C-alpha cells in the first residue's frame, strides 16, 4: 500500500533536536543544574494523592493561572498556560499566524520560532543581527514595516547568544508592530537571569505578550509547563484554539506547588548568575572570545576550532552545545551554567585542551 504524503511545505523539514552523548557532565541543554528543593517533591506528592483521576482536569487551569498572575500583579484572565513554552508559542502561531501570514525573527536566535512557524503553515522571515549579535533597532523596525509579519519574535535573553535586548529596541519594534497590526512576542524563557524584562510594557491595549517557562528558573524541565502574560482579549482567543483539557491535573498541581518556593528559586537563580560570571571570566583568561550573557548559559569562541574543542571536551566526559557549524556562529560553543563542581570540571578540561 502507498504511504500518505506529508504536506508539501514540510517535505524538506528537519526536526528540532539537541544531540545527546553519554558523559559525566552535561552542560548542553540549558537545564537547571539542580532539582527543586525536597519539600517541592513532597508537596507535589501530597497534591497528587488528592487528585480525582477519573475526572478531567480544570480546563481553564484557573487556580494555576491565578497564582502565576499574582506573581506579576495580573489577573488570571491575562495568563495562558500550556505544555511548555513550546505549546504556548505554537498556540500563538495557530491563532494569529498560519497559512498566508508570515513571522519575523532576528538571527541567530531560538530555532524553534521559525521551526514552529513552518509547522503551522506560516512563512518565516529573518533579519540578521550585527556581527556582535546585537540587534540594530533601525534594521528591525524597517523589516517589520516592510514585511508586515503577523508575529514578530524577540528572544531576550537571546538563545543561543545570551544577549538581552535594550528597552529602546523593544519599544521601537513594538511601535512598528502596532503600525502593521501585528503581534510582538518577547520570549523570556531565561528572563529571571537577566537584569530587565518587558513585562512592565504589557498593557491591555498593546499587542505584546511575554512568554515564560518553568523549565529553567523553576528547575522543572521534566514537567513541560510554560505560560504567557498578555492582554485578556488575546488570552481569550488562545483558549478558543488550544486543545480542550490540554493541561493535565498533575501538571497543574506541580505548577502550583512550585510557586510555594519562590525564595528557593531566587536563591538558585542568584547562584547560577554568580557561576556564570566565573565561567565568563575564566574562559576569557583562556583566550576565548566570550559574549555578555543575561541567561544561564555562555556563548564563546575558543582560540582553536570549535569542533575540535567540542570533541576533546567529550573525550573529557563533558558535553556542551556544538554551535560551531551553525550559520552566524562560526567556531562557537555554548555552555550551560552547571553546579560549581560541574563548572570547575568544564574549566579544567578547557585549560587542558587550550593549555601549552
Residues 257, 268: one domain? no
Residues 295, 212: one domain? no
Does the residue 41 lie in any domain? Answer: no
- In this prediction, residues 66-79 reach a mean pLDDT of 98
Query: What CATH number should be reported for the domain holding residue 30?
Result: 3.90.1150.10
Residues 68, 112: one domain? yes
Residues 194, 215: one domain? yes
Of 228, 261, 294, the domain-final residue: 261
Q: Is the pTM of this model over 0.85?
A: yes
Residues 252, 319: one domain? no
* pLDDT at 282 > cutoff 90: yes
Does the residue 42 lie in any domain? Answer: no
Eight-class DSSP state of 191: G
Does the residue 162 lie in any domain? Answer: yes
pLDDT in tens, 124-171: 999 999 999 999 999 999 999 999 999 999 999 999 999 999 999 999
Of 212, 230, 261, the domain-final residue: 261
Number of neighbours of residue 264 by Cβ within 10 angstroms = 16
Does the residue 1 lie in any domain? Answer: no
Residues 99, 194: one domain? yes
Residues 31, 58: one domain? no
Residues 22, 56: one domain? no
**H-helix or E-strand containing 315?**
helix 306-315
Residue 4's pLDDT band, with cuts at 50, 70 and 90, is confident
Residues 224, 346: one domain? no
Does the residue 98 lie in any domain? Answer: yes
Q: Nearest CA to 186 among 150, 143, 229?
A: 229
**H-helix or E-strand containing 256?**
helix 249-258
- In this prediction, residues 347-355 reach a mean pLDDT of 95
Does the residue 3 lie in any domain? Answer: no
pLDDT in tens, 82-133: 999 999 999 999 999 999 999 999 999 999 999 999 999 999 999 999 999 9
Number of domains within the chain:
2
Domain assignment of residue 210, given as a range: 51-261
- In this prediction, residues 232-257 reach a mean pLDDT of 96
pLDDT in tens, 27-63: 999 999 999 999 999 999 999 998 999 999 999 999 9
**Helix (H) and strand (E) counts for the chain?**
11, 12
Does the residue 158 lie in any domain? Answer: yes
Q: What was the pLDDT predicted at 355?
A: 81
Residues 27, 90: one domain? no
Does the residue 283 lie in any domain? Answer: yes
Residues whose CB is less than 8 angstroms from the CB of residue 69 and which lie 6 or more positions away in sequence, other chains included: 75, 76, 78, 79, 229
Residues 61, 173: one domain? yes
Query: What CATH number should be reported for the domain holding residue 229?
Result: 3.40.640.10
Residue 287's pLDDT band, with cuts at 50, 70 and 90, is very high
Of 261, 290, 315, the domain-final residue: 261
Residues 164, 139: one domain? yes
Cα–Cα distances (Å) from 102 to 94, 116, 148, 230, 285, in that order, read 12, 12, 8, 21, 44
Cα–Cα distances (Å) from 113 to 142, 176, 214, in that order, read 20, 20, 18
- In this prediction, residues 174-189 reach a mean pLDDT of 98
Amino acid at each position: 500500500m502507498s504511504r500518505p504524503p506529508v504536506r508539501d511545505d514540510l517535505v524538506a523539514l528537519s526536526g528540532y533536536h539537541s544531540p545527546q552523548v553519554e558523559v559525566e557532565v552535561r552542560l548542553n541543554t540549558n537545564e537547571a543544574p539542580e532539582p527543586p528543593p525536597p519539600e517541592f517533591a513532597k508537596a507535589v506528592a501530597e497534591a497528587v494523592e488528592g487528585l480525582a483521576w477519573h475526572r478531567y482536569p480544570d480546563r481553564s487551569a484557573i487556580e494555576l493561572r491565578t497564582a502565576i498572575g499574582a506573581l506579576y500583579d495580573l489577573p488570571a484572565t491575562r495568563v495562558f498556560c500550556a505544555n511548555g513554552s513550546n505549546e504556548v508559542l505554537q498556540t500563538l502561531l495557530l491563532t494569529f499566524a498560519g497559512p498566508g501570514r508570515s513571522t519575523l525573527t532576528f538571527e541567530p536566535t531560538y530555532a524553534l520560532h521559525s521551526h514552529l512557524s513552518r509547522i503551522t503553515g506560516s512563512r518565516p522571515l529573518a533579519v540578521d543581527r550585527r556581527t556582535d549579535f546585537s540587534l540594530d533597532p533601525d534594521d528591525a523596525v524597517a523589516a517589520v514595516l516592510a514585511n508586515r509579519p503577523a508575529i514578530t519574535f524577540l528572544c531576550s535573553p537571546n538563545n543561543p547568544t545570551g544577549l538581552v535586548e535594550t528597552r529602546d529596541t523593544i519599544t521601537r519594534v513594538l511601535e512598528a508592530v502596532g503600525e502593521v497590526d501585528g503581534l510582538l512576542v518577547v520570549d523570556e524563557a531565561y528572563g529571571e537571569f537577566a537584569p530587565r524584562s518587558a513585562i512592565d510594557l504589557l498593557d491591555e491595549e498593546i499587542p505584546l505578550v511575554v512568554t515564560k517557562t518553568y523549565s529553567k528558573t523553576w528547575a522543572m524541565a521534566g514537567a513541560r509547563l510554560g505560560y504567557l502574560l498578555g492582554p485578556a482579549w488575546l488570552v481569550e482567543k488562545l483558549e478558543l484554539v488550544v486543545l480542550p483539557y490540554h493541561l493535565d491535573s498533575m501538571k497543574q498541581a506541580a505548577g502550583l506547588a512550585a510557586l510555594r518556593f519562590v525564595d528557593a528559586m531566587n536563591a538558585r537563580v542568584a547562584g547560577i548568575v554568580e557561576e556564570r560570571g566565573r565561567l565568563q571570566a575564566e574562559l576569557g583568561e583562556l583566550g576565548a572570545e566570550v559574549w555578555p550573557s543575561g541567561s544561564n548559559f555562555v556563548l564563546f569562541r575558543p582560540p582553536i576550532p570549535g569542533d575540535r574543542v567540542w570533541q576533546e571536551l567529550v573525550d573529557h566526559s563533558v558535553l556542551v552545545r556544538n554551535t560551531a557549524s551553525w550559520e552566524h556562529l562560526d567556531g562557537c560553543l555554548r555552555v550551560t551554567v552547571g553546579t560549581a563542581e560541574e563548572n570547575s570540571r568544564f574549566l579544567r578540561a578547557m585549560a587542558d585542551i587550550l593549555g601549552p
